[in-house]
Amino acid sequence: MYKRIVPFLGAALGKDCEVVLHDLRYPDESVIAIANGDISSRKLGAPATDFILKLMQVGKKRDQEYMTNYYGKSVNGHTLRSSTFFIHDEEDNIIGALCLNYDVQRYLDVRKQLDAFILMDPGKHIDGMPQDNAKKEDDHFLSVEISESMYPTVDDAIQHLIQRTLAPYGTEAKRLSQAERLAVVEDLYKNGLFVLKGSVYALAQILGVSEPTIYRYLNRIKKENHNVQG
């Protein structure tokens, strides 16, 4: 029933607003309707975002009907102002999401140009704000606790999530210790990576271990989390 509203919202809100409908029962190909998809380079059959995957992993119930005006990034690096309306089943589990993603990159670019023009003297202030503080505010214009990345394919999603988790280690993935590998798997588990098909194989290849090793790590993590919750 939500499919019919997607093209309407896309036309009404304009070309700078992407409208996306996710069926989260199939996270590998959750996008079932999309308008103005060139904003994120996604098409029908694209996977769920990292934000939605994490939401699915923690098992969010109907304590919040929607989330508005949080930070997002498109695959081409554009800044997006995003909002999501959650669709629940009869047991209040999230089974879908209707998302609006405004591409505000050109407005941020104009703002930077105006700041550069107005703040030509580094020592001057605007309304009592030093230039470096003004720049800091601009850099974090849309930065909030929630952030979201969007991927055209499930392989893109898997690789992005893995590489983002490995980045802080600063060494080749295959040289990580067992404790570090376990920490990587736990972080990826909490962020919903293993909801996606093929993720265990991809991670095993990158870490240089077998798939059964990844499954052993996962079983250990799930058991420890269960004990903590118990």
Taking the CA atoms of the chain, what radius of gyration do you get in angstroms? 20
Instruction: Give how far the C-alpha of residue 138 lies from the chain's centroid of Cα atoms, to the nearest Å.
Output: 21
Residue 162: half-sphere exposure toward Cβ, Cα within 13 Å: 21
| N-term to C-term CA, the chain | 39
Instruction: Give how far the C-alpha of residue 126 lies from the chain's centroid of Cα atoms, to the nearest Å.
Output: 35
Provide the residue-wise pLDDT of the chain in tens; the chain has 230 residues: 899 999 999 999 999 999 999 999 999 999 999 999 999 999 999 999 998 898 887 766 667 789 999 988 888 888 999 999 999 988 888 899 999 999 999 888 898 888 888 876 544 444 444 444 434 434 443 433 467 888 889 999 999 999 999 999 988 999 999 999 999 999 999 999 999 999 999 999 999 999 999 999 999 999 887 666 55
State the DSSP string of the chain. Answer: --TTHHHHHHHHH-TTEEEEEEETTSGGG-EEEEESGGGTT--TTPPPPHHHHHHHHTT--TT-SEEEEEEEE-TT--EEEEEEEEEE-TTS-EEEEEEEEEE-HHHHHHHHHHHHHHT-STT-EETTEEHHHHHHHHHTSS--S-EEE--SSHHHHHHHHHHHHHGGG-S-GGG--HHHHHHHHHHHHHTTGGGSTTHHHHHHHHHT--HHHHHHHHHHHHHHHHHHH-
Residue 87: half-sphere exposure toward Cβ, Cα within 13 Å: 14
